[in-house]
Structure formats: C-alpha cells, structure tokens
Structure 1
Amino acid sequence: MAAPSFQPINHDESYAYLADPVARTSTWSKLKYAPVGGEDGPVWASFGGELRLRAERKDNERFGRGLQDHGGDFQTRVRLWAELNLGTSLRAFVDVQDARTSGLDSGEPASEESRTDLHQAFIEARTELAGGRLRVRAGRQEMGIAPYRLVDVREGANARRALDLVRVLYDSPTGWSGDAFAGYALREGKASWDDATDFDYRLYGATAAKTLGQGATAPKLTLGANTAGLWRQSKDDGLYALSSMVLRGANEGQSSYVGWRTGVFARYALTPHISLMGVANYTKAGDFLKETGTAKDQSYLGTFLTFRF
C-alpha cells in the first residue's frame, strides 16, 4: 500500500484509489475508505484527524509596544474530519477544530484560542466536462491562493482559517485548472460553536494555474532558510499581526520599509504519520517602525510535534 499522501488542505486529498479491498491492508487505509452498504456499493466514507502540539517563545512580538509575551507558551490543536462520497458525483465534508493556548501573556486572540467549533462543512457536486472535471462546492471551507500568499489557511497560527464560499473549479486534461469563488470571511470567537459568517467582509475572484509536473515524494528530513525585506505596499497600509490586530497605524510613519526578516526551519518525519519541526526567525526593525517611536527587534522560536491520520 502507498504511503499517506497528506496535503496542506485536507479536503484536497483523495482516497478513491483504496476502493479495491486488496489495497486496504491497514487500520489507516480502512479509515480512509470505508464502504457504506457493502463493498460493491457506490457510497463510501473517509475519516481523518490531526493533533498538533507546539511550544514557542516570542520576544518583542509586537516590536516592543503594548503587551508582550514572557517565558513562552504552549498550544494544542485537535482536528477531526469526515467525508461521505456518493459515487463520483457528490460528497459532503465536515471538519471540527479545537485550538487552545496557555501561558500567552500578551493575550489570546481567536487565531490562537478558538475552542471546539465547526471549521469546515460543505457539499460538492462533481461531473466530467470536456475531458476534465468540473466541481461546484458550497459551504465553509479552507482555501489557499498563490500559493497561500494572497489567501492562506493561517497554518502559522494555532487556529486555522476557513471561509464561507461558493466555488466553481475546473481541472482540464491539459494540466490547466481554474477557480471562481465568492463569499464571506468568518467572525471568529474564542468560545465553542461561536464562529459565524462575517457579512461585512466579502471576497470574490478567480484564479488559473498550470501544473507542470508531479513533485517528488516528501523526504524524511527537510531543511530551509529564507531572508526577505518587509515593506508596506502603500503608505495607507498599517502593520498587522497574524490575528489581524493593528500593531502600527498607517499614519504613524512615512517610510515604506518595515524591516528585514531571516528564518530557518527543520522538519523530520518520524513516521508517515508523525513529524517534528523547529522554526526560528529574527526580524530587524526598519525605518517605518523606528518612526513610530518603539522599534525593538522581534524574534521567534517554535517546536511542533504533529500526528495526522
């Protein structure tokens, strides 16, 4: 049986290849493809989950202004999801998330503390069209664009982000794919079952992409380093935290240069289901931050232990 092919967004995974009972030789494979109503029936279910433990230390996380974290914090994130497939034409997907934080002295925004809530829930209809695959999906769902730069799932925070959307997706036989979408963001709360559609935050758009080839299987050890300058695109832009909290107002300085960030990471797959990762980065405060009056350099250290099935 092939090793798990986990994707950054869980609903992008497909386990239809496990329809052959001969391929389902492990407990994991039987969870990923569970026939409903008999082996020869068109209906099947799939189950998955994730547990992520993270310890982190943030120095000058708000560049020295306001509440700052002291001594580090510890976070847990638990997710469980399931999908029901009616042959190849229809599927329903549900994902529940629970994210908790302890020891974060600077406060716990909903991006770091969001107790049990409905993270994703959508219906998707699928059909063949002109040799390709057309999908129409409606409901709460994660989405990433370009790649995870314009719209991302907020993996760097403790609680991932979803949106309430209607999407029309097409995958052509030539390798091109397209996506048109419209919908709303969520008004996230920290308590259980309190996330709701934010009708004041609307988004819509379309994307197109070309697949150039299949990537290699992920190695057991992955190392990376990056360095980049940080600028405001416009002088009307403020500076925001990952939680969308305003760290500096747009009118507090004239420079566009925010700072320079350097980071390194290492990820090791202990097993196909368990991984260990370490992340470190340092941000040198730039001219814009200095103009605001408080401009301490920022640093971050984090260790992650993740189990996924």
Structure 2
Amino acid sequence: MSRLLLTGVVALFLASWTPTVVAAQETEPQVPHYQLNRADEDYRYLKDPARRTDFWDPVKYLPLNREGDWYLSLGGELRERYEFFENYNWREQPQDSGYSLQRYFLHADLHLGERVRLFGQLQSSLEYGRSGGPRPGVDRNQLDLHQGFLDLDLVRDPQRTVTLRTGRQELSFGSQRLVSVREGPNVRQSFDGFRIMYRAGGLALDGLATRPVQSNRYTFDDPTNHNQALWGAYSVVALPERTRTSLDLYYLGLYKKQAVFDQGSARETRHSIGTRIWRSAKPLDYNFEFLYQWGSFGDGSIRAWTAASDTGYWLEGLPTTPRLALKADVASGDRDPNNRNLETFNPLFPKGAYFSENGLIGPSNFINLNPSAEFHLPQRVILSINWDFFWRESIQDGIYNNSVVLVRSGRTSSARYIGSQPQLQCEWNVQRHLSLVGIYAHFLAGPFLRESGPGRDVDYLTTWVTYKF
C-alpha cells in the first residue's frame, strides 16, 4: 500500500506544481490534446507567439531558422502505477502483496522544412515488488529506443499528402482490436519497417511492411523480431457528412515462425480481411466490426472469424450526461484439437487492456456481453461501471490472454461459461497534463475455470497517475 500512497502524493504534487496550466486550458480551448502516439502531435500553431500560453510551450516549438519551418519539439511522459491481484489467473500463480510499475518517455521531433522529419523516442519501464518478477515483454524494459523514424513527404499540396515513414514506429488502427500501441501494459509495442500514408479529404490510406520489436529487460537490447512479420493496408473513408459515419476497410497479414494454440504449435501464416463502420456523434454512437481470417498452420489450414459491436446512447438532458452502452463480441475457437486445421481467431497485436486492465482474458475463442454506464461528473471526473460476461465460443478450445498465449486448455472441461466480471473505474483529468485513474474489478469464476484447474475468484485493484508534457 506504500506504493499506492506514493502515487497519491506524486499526483497532489504535480497538481499543485502547475496551477497556471489549468487556467491556460480554460482560456485556450484550441490547445490540442495529447495523442496516444505522441508522434501524431503537431505544434506548428505555436509559431504564433500569441498562442504560447502553456508552461511547456517554450520546448514544444523551438524554431531553428528565421522562417520557422525548421523547428524542434520536445516532450515526455511519466506514469506511476500500482497493481494488486488476489488470486492472479484464478490462483494458478503465487499470491503477492502488490507491486509498482513505472514508465517514462522522452521524445524529440525535428522538422527540417515541410517535407523532412526525424522523430526519436526513448522508453524506460520499471517494475518493483511483483512476486515471481516481471512478466516477460510487458513489465520491465530498463531503457531502449521505442521509436526512431524518418518521414519524407513525397507529395504535399492542398488536396493530398503522401508520406513515407521508415524506421522504428508505433502502429495503431481503428479501435485497436488488431493493431495497437499496447497502452495498458507497462511496456508499449513498436514495429520496425515501412509505412506509406496517403491523405486526401475524407480518405486515409496506409500501407505497411513491418516486424514487431522484441522487448527485452535491459538497456538498448530490443532487436527486430525476425520470427514474426506484419504487413497490409488499412483505409478509413468518411461517408456523406449527414450520416456522421465512417467506414474502415483493411487487409492485414501475419507471419509467426512458431505459434502456439491449444491444438499445438506450428508455423503460422494468417491473412485477415475486415470492415468497420462507426459513428462517434451524440446522442447515438456505434462501432461495428467484422473480420474473416484464412491461411496456414503447419500442414493445416486456418479458417477463423470475429464480430464485435459497441452501441451507446447519451442521455444529454440528464445531470452527468450518462452514456448507456452494450458491447457484444464473439471470436471463433478451434473445433477439433485432433484435426490439423485451425479455427482459433488470432487478434494479431491488440490493445493490452482489451476487456480489462487486468488482462485475464484475451479476444480468442470467446463470446462476450458487456453492459455499461458512464457518468461525467464535475471537475473533469468520469465514472464508469460495467459487467462483462464470458463464454467459450468452442468448447473444444481453451482460453487465451491478450498476447494469444494459452491460459487454460479446453481439453479437461466441456463447460462453456467462463465467468463474469463487474468493474468500477474512476478517471480524473485534473488538467491537460495530469490525469489519475483508479479501477477495481472482481472476476467471478464460472464452471469452466473451476473444472479445468484452479478456479478462485479474482480481485484486482490498480491506480495510476500520468503526467505528460
């Protein structure tokens, strides 16, 4: 609990240290929000001295020539987090007394005119006190180059831009169901390779050929993972303005030299084609996604699929402007572990907190219903409550985590129901730079978990403070 106290002390200190920033946020609504991928930010608006109102503005735009089109932008982030599990993985692992996770980012964004850009970002992720030590690949990475790429604008005019990005970079598409920066875990995901980006009016089209970066624990030891590859194309099209709806169409390819499922392990080449239709405008918002996969798994073939939905309605006339929502998702599982063909859906590189920050269950071989309610309180506080219900789509397959690692084999139980999880989350956006989050979840183990191994209920508590500049 000392780590939890430290998190609160740090938050109070940062809130008191930057009082002028709150005023700037209130008087300058045009100041942009920080992006999930910090490389997506643009500070050219600070060329106008009248718009430099924030404490950090002097380092966000450092002109290097008289015209101001050569400039350097600096930024960073720190996150202090505490996590506690009671019966982690339903008591398959030893009990611990809680642990802390720290993450630091520092980046530099150099623009050499309108067509050339260099971006570099360091990441340091630390773990203290976890029983059994840090989880591989997601908890600890002392210091490494997280992003380092060159952007060349091949075409730039008022109607369209074409940009070639080469080097180490974060990738994120759509709802991050398939390709994500993996924000939830302590160590984020990046890729080495090429990306070409076309932008014209309401159309965004990206092509990519990459390999994931292998996250190791120590200093500057993260190589390209040559045992895996990700390639494809992703497009976003804005439909007629009156609909306030957009359409995503995409193809993504995945190669793994050694993939492991409940059926066994083998070389995997998987192709995914999908579509997403979404609307974020109030009062009715929605997000529907449908995807089909095919390819090869060893000597067998792959046939898998998923369908996902998130529908919400805002009660704008009521206090706290509640949003009531229902998510309904399903992803295929393997039909016969003794058959060489594979039907288990692979979510590729999904967001780390797909269903919950505790990451107990990932999006393979599942059926999920999740009703929720979200309330917007004074002082930028958002309170949300939801209740997840989980079933196996195929009772011949096991359950997996977010990294498509088998958590529990399906060979010892014919039960379909996995369990349910109520969760309460409170998010306080203190001001533009500072936010605090607290989450409590309780997983109620169902028949499948109790019959296939340890099946204790799980309690999960986490809280973190994030400061960005």
- TM above 0.5, yes or no, is yes
Q: Which residue of 1 aligns with 2:422?
A: 262
Matches within 5 A, 1:1-80: 1=28, 2-36=30-64, 38-65=65-92, 67-80=93-106
Structure 1 pair 185–235 and aligned structure 2 pair: CA distance change class (3 A): farther
Structure 1 pair 136–226 and aligned structure 2 pair: CA distance change class (3 A): farther
1:91 aligns with 2:117: yes
Structure 1 pair 239–121 and aligned structure 2 pair: CA distance change class (3 A): farther
Shift of 1:121: 0.9
1:285 aligns with 2:445: yes
Residues 2-11 or 85-94, more deviating: 2-11
Whichever residue aligns with residue 51 of structure 2, its letter is A
Q: Which residue of 1 aligns with 2:220?
A: 193
RMSD: 2.6
| % identical aligned pairs | 31
| Whole-Å separation in 1 of the counterparts to 2:198 and 2:383 | 34
Whichever residue aligns with residue 77 of structure 1, its letter is R
Kept after mapping to 1: 8 A contact 2:101/2:128? yes
Higher CA-based Rg: 2
| Whole-Å separation in 2 of the counterparts to 1:272 and 1:118 | 26
Per-residue CA deviation, residues 67-102 of structure 1 (Å, 9 max, x unaligned), is 234211111111101111122212111110111111
Structure 1 pair 27–293 and aligned structure 2 pair: CA distance change class (3 A): closer
1:225 aligns with 2:385: yes
Q: Which residue of 1 aligns with 2:264?
A: none
Q: Which residue of 1 aligns with 2:337?
A: none
Could you tell me the TM-score, scaled by structure 1's length?
0.88
Q: Which residue of 2 aligns with 1:294?
A: 454
SS in 2 for 1:197: coil
Q: 1:181 aligns with which of 203, 208, 228?
A: 208
Query: RCO (CA 8 Å, sep 6+): is it higher in 1 or 2?
Result: 1
1:162 aligns with 2:190: yes
Shift of 1:306: 0.9
Structure 1 pair 95–237 and aligned structure 2 pair: CA distance change class (3 A): farther
Whichever residue aligns with residue 188 of structure 1, its letter is S
Structure 1 pair 149–64 and aligned structure 2 pair: CA distance change class (3 A): same
Structure 1 pair 97–252 and aligned structure 2 pair: CA distance change class (3 A): farther
Q: Which residue of 1 aligns with 2:129?
A: 103
Kept after mapping to 1: 8 A contact 2:171/2:180? yes
Shift of 1:234: 5.6
Gaps of 5+ in 2: 1-27, 239-243, 246-279, 283-375
| Whole-Å separation in 1 of the counterparts to 2:83 and 2:152 | 41
Could you tell me the TM-score, scaled by structure 2's length?
0.60
Whichever residue aligns with residue 93 of structure 1, its letter is F
Gaps of 5+ in 1: none
SS in 1 for 2:119: strand
| Whole-Å separation in 2 of the counterparts to 1:136 and 1:286 | 49
Shift of 1:254: 4.6
Per-residue CA deviation, residues 12-68 of structure 1 (Å, 9 max, x unaligned), is 1111211223323444112111111x3424211111100101112112221211x23
Structure 1 pair 290–93 and aligned structure 2 pair: CA distance change class (3 A): same
Kept after mapping to 1: 8 A contact 2:47/2:68? no
SS in 1 for 2:183: coil
Kept after mapping to 2: 8 A contact 1:235/1:256? yes
Whichever residue aligns with residue 128 of structure 1, its letter is R
| Whole-Å separation in 1 of the counterparts to 2:394 and 2:117 | 43
Shift of 1:252: 4.7
Whichever residue aligns with residue 104 of structure 2, its letter is V
Kept after mapping to 1: 8 A contact 2:396/2:414? no
Residues 2-11 or 49-58, more deviating: 2-11
Structure 1 pair 182–226 and aligned structure 2 pair: CA distance change class (3 A): farther
| Whole-Å separation in 1 of the counterparts to 2:180 and 2:95 | 25
| Whole-Å separation in 1 of the counterparts to 2:45 and 2:39 | 15
Q: Which residue of 1 aligns with 2:248?
A: none
Kept after mapping to 1: 8 A contact 2:138/2:187? yes
| Whole-Å separation in 2 of the counterparts to 1:296 and 1:231 | 17
Matches within 5 A, 1:112-261: 112-126=139-153, 127-128=155-156, 131-173=159-201, 175-210=202-237, 212=244, 220-232=380-392, 238-242=398-402, 245-249=405-409, 251-255=411-415, 257-261=417-421
Structure 1 pair 117–125 and aligned structure 2 pair: CA distance change class (3 A): same
